[in-house]
Amino acid sequence: MGILEVKGVNKRFGGLQALGDVNLSVQERSVHAIIGPNGAGKSTLLNCLVGKLIPDTGSVMFDGNSVLGRKPHEINQMGISRVFQTPEIFADLSVMENVLIPCFAKRDGSFRLHAFETVANEGELNDEAEKMLADVSMLEKRHMLASSLSRGDKRRLEMAMCLVQRPKLLLLDEPTAGMARADTNNTIDLLKEINDRRDITMCIIEHDMHVVFSLAQRITVLAQGTPLVEDTPDNIKGHPKVREAYLGE
């Protein structure tokens, strides 16, 4: 049994079958990549996992509980966090202030802007924020303005903010899209560190095969809404159906 078990999921948009009988099993602590051509249904599948879309049929079980029928914030509280293409950070705040926001929100259930004024008395939250920054090797940059960071470091900051919630499963939709090679490698290292050190399971949608083969232990190839094959990176590389459907050979 995986930490995430998707069974028989179908999703139609009008006449278009975006997902057709999708099965997916993601093992705890693994990095599982989902690849496939544009329009294959990858983002639709992710949206079904976080409650943004509701499958027409099928089941989605996380950690033994069904996510279907739950609201996105409830699914988030179950331990599933999602990371988007562009890091979601507050550009005009410092690195430290960015991480304090989810720390406050977690403690108080909401964030009040005036909270920063009392931050001097909030030793516990400061410690928590600094720990999260240390975990992504960003502690030395805590006084920098978020907007001045490289793309790779913005991703590190976003991950520190995300770690505050103690996620069990991280869903990443093309986390290196549009990045220069140095930032991409920075992000690969970051995700490896988090997967190893924090035991966080990851499900990653990615077009860059260098990223996929650097990180994933299992790869599912989605084509026209249906899993074509699921296997190890080595087997996927040589798979004739994959070369034909995905690599265009």
Question: Where on the chain is the footprint of ligand ADP (CB under 6 A)?
Answer: 13, 16, 18, 36, 38-44
DSSP code at position 109: S
Task: Summarize as ranges the residues that interact with Mg ion (CB under 5 A).
Answer: 42-43
Q: Amino acid identity of 73? A: H
Contacts of 140 (CB under 8 A, 6+ apart): none
Q: Select 16 or 134, whichever has its Cβ closest to ligand ADP.
A: 16
Least distance (Å) between residue 247 CB and ligand ADP: 16
The binder of 40, among ligand ADP, Mg ion, none, by C-beta within 5 to 8 A per type, is ligand ADP
CB 225, min distance to ligand ADP, A: 7
Distance CA 85, CA 175 (A): 5
Residue 39 touches which of ligand ADP, Mg ion, none (Cβ within 5-8 Å per kind): ligand ADP
User: Among Mg ion, ligand ADP, none, what binds residue 151 when CB lies within 5 to 8 Å by partner kind?
Assistant: none
> Of 164 and 172, which CB lies nearer to ligand ADP in the complex structure?
172
Nearer residue to ligand ADP within complex by CB, 42 or 82 = 42
Give the nearest distance from C-beta 37 to Mg ion in angstroms. 10
- Residue 168, binding choice from ligand ADP, Mg ion, none, Cβ under 5 to 8 Å by partner class: none
DSSP-H helix ranges across the chain: 42-49, 72-78, 95-108, 123-135, 151-163, 181-198, 209-215, 233-237, 240-245
Q: How far is the CB of 172 from Mg ion (least distance, A)?
A: 12
Q: Which token pair is 133?
A: 């920054």
Chain residue at closest Cβ approach to Mg ion: 43
CA distance 81 to 75: 8
Q: Are 4 and 188 in contact (CB under 8 A)?
A: no
Q: How far is the CB of 246 from ligand ADP (least distance, A)?
A: 11
Q: Which residue, 47 or 186, is less far from ligand ADP as judged by CB?
A: 47
Coil/strand/helix, residue 95: helix
- Report helix, strand and coil shares of the chain as percent, to nearest 5: 45, 25, 35
Backbone phi, then psi, for 234, in 5-degree steps? -60, -45
**Furthest CA-CA distance within the chain:** 62
- Smallest gap from residue 42 Cβ to ligand ADP (A): 3
CA distance 157 to 183: 13
Nearer to ligand ADP, 194 or 219 (CB): 219
Beta-carbon-side half-sphere exposure of residue 33 (alpha carbons within 13 Å): 24
Looking at the Cβ atoms of 22 and 99, the one nearer to ligand ADP is: 22
